[in-house]
Amino acid sequence: MAEHAHADHSEKHYIRVYLILLVLLIVSILGPELEIQILTLVTAFGIAFVKAWMVIKNFMHLTVQPKYVTYILTTCLVFMLLFFAGTAPDVMRWDGANWHKPYIETAPEAGSADPGH
């Protein structure tokens, strides 16, 4: 717990982190407006990762918690990814025997990237 004593818990620190998160939010909103695909991907995923890490580090204080807390969080994330990997092949399919998506009117055309068309 010696690390915890050195953590900055001042009001100024939290306001600075909050302002950084707001700036990153604005960038992640404006990035896709330029309609450059690589920039959209970087702003959507890269900035989201940075914001998540800042929240974990500064507000959840995960970096100063006992190791077992990190292990529990990692285990939960692994199980979430396993669940997604196990269900995604079925849920993301557009065709197949006994397969019906009532909220989709028609299947996407071959080569179409947009599932709604």
CA atoms within a 13 Å half-sphere pointing along the CA-CB vector of 40: 6
* Residue 48, pLDDT above cutoff 50: yes
The answer for residues whose C-beta is within 8 angstroms of residue 1's C-beta and 6 or more apart is 64
pLDDT digits 0-9 by tens, 8-39: 678 888 899 999 999 988 888 888 888 888 88
The answer for residues whose C-beta is within 8 angstroms of residue 34's C-beta and 6 or more apart is 40
Q: Check residue 19 and give its pLDDT.
A: 94
Domain ranges of the chain: 1-60, 65-94
